[in-house]
Each structure stands twice: as C-alpha cells, then as structure tokens.
Structure 1
Amino acid sequence: MSLVTRAACVALGLCAAACIHGPQSPSPPADFATVEVQRSDRAKLYADCIGEAVAADRYGRAHDEDTELVVFTCTGPAARSFFEGLGDWSAGAGSQVEADGRVVRSTNPVVRDLFGVDYCARSSAGEHSCSVSLNAGAFLRP
C-alpha cells in the first residue's frame, strides 16, 4: 500500500471516528410539570416509617465522598409492617439475609454495605427497625 493510500485510509478512519463520537445533540429543555403520583400500599410503608421516625426525632445525615443522605429510622408497628411487607419481595430479589443475629430484608440486594439501602431488620428478640434513605444531594452538606 502506498504512503498516499495509507494516509487516505487513516484520514478516512479519523473522519468516521469523529462522526461516531461527534458532538452530542443538545438536551431538550427541562420539564417542570408536576409529576403524577399514584397511591401505593408499598409507598405507604415508606410514609408510615418516615412519619414515625420524624415524630420520634430519629433521622439524620449520612454521607460518603459523593453522596448525601437523610436517613430515617423507624421502630415498632411501622417497622414491623415494613419488614413483613418486604417478605415476599426480598425472598424473590435475593435481598434477605441473616447477619449478626438478625434477619435483614432490603429493597435491593446489598452489594457492599447498607449505605443508601432501604432495609428493615428483625432482631433475635423480635424487635423491628427500618432505615429509609433519601438522597438529598449537595444541599445537605454542612
């Protein structure tokens, strides 16, 4: 292959790569319309837990390098209902484990630790507690 042909192939390849990885089209403008919501028994489990946590002053900030959370912790009837509500779901999702003398059920399988995971636990004494995390973003930073 001659030097001119080789140079033409390289130039053509660079042009094709530029087309594939060219500038992205601009995003459409943000839509600030109110989001439609529907009643949900599972959403009520969250609401009852958060309400109980607020009433008992059991909420606070948790964070890592790039995530800021408000964590609400409920106990008692709200936690027991949430724990029971997670039963079939956790069994099917593979997100129920026994650890440290308690049964832990989470809304999603735990990958590394419980940071940012919504979960409920039942102790060997039959006491229930749940933690619900709200990703609040940079606003929460001190």
Structure 2
Amino acid sequence: MKAVPMILAAFALAACATAEGPQGTPSLDIAPGQPAPPQAQFYIDCIDQASEARTYDREEHVIRFHCGGAPAQRFFDGLRGWSADEASEIGSGGVLWRFTSPMRQNPSFLDFCRRTGEGHAARYDCTVVLNVGEFLAQ
C-alpha cells in the first residue's frame, strides 16, 4: 500500500516534466483572488508614480515602469531581507541593486531597485516589469 502514493507521485512528476501546456478542456473559470500582501504596495506606489509621470517604456513584450524618490526608497528598503535571503543583491560601481528574483544574465525582464551613493546623497530608483505578451508588438 505504501508504494501506491510513491507511484502516483512519480506519475505526477513525469507529467509535469513532459507536459507542454494545460491539458484538458479549457475553462473560463477565474480563480478567486486572495488579499494582496503588504509588499504589493511597493509595486502599486511605483506603478502609480510612473503612470502619472509617464516614466514607462517597453522592452520586447514587457512594459517597464520606472519610479524614483520616496516610493523607490521604500521598495528598496522593503527588499532588504528578501534580497539577502534570495542572493539577489549585487553591489557594483557604487550602486547597490536589489532584485525581486535572482539575476542570471542581466537586469532585463526583472523587477529591481537601486541605490546610487550613500547617506543623504543617496538616490533611489526602481523598475517594475509587466509582461503583456504579443499584443504589445502590434
């Protein structure tokens, strides 16, 4: 009997490894949302500022929202523990970068915040990436 759960788990892993997309009949059911955690406010504040100031651009199929000042500093500070735990903090040339996920090759397609300088002279900026897909290429 103990072998049955192990066999089912092996089938599930094999299905995940070989599946190329959703299987079965498509559904228009929308999953219920969950309350956004407090760190979601960092994204909202940055996107709000970028939208109002029109400091957004495009890279391939993503829109990049760029914010600075107080919203960027709050986001940067909010990433402190996360970036340390995820090894997604990089210092280079007097700039401290914090990413929401580890950088593999370059900052393209990643959310990040930067601090340039130290103390009262420090400047903060962040980029939040929204993947909008092929529609943006039209």
Q: CA deviation at 1:26?
A: 5.0
Equivalent in the alignment of 1:47: 44
Residue 58 of structure 2: aligned partner: 61
Which amino acid counterpart does residue 96 of structure 1 have in structure 2?
E
- RMSD value, Cα: 1.8
1:54-133 correspondence to structure 2 within 5 Å: 54-63=51-60, 68-124=61-117, 125-133=121-129
Query: Unpaired segments of 5 or more residues in structure 2?
Result: 1-17
| TM-score (normalised: structure 2) | 0.77
Quick one: which amino acid aligns to residue 105 of structure 1? Answer: R
The runs of 4+ residues in structure 1 deviating greater than 3 Å are none
TM-score (norm 1): 0.75
**Could you list the runs of 5+ residues in structure 1 that have no partner in the other structure?**
1-20
Give 2:24's match in structure 1, choosing from 12, 27, 33.
27
Q: Size of the alignment, in residue pairs?
A: 115
Q: Which amino acid aligns with 2:35?
A: Q
1:11-26 equivalences under 5 Å are none
* Helix, strand or coil at the partner of 2:84: helix
Amino acid at match of 2:39: R
SS of residue paired to 1:41: coil
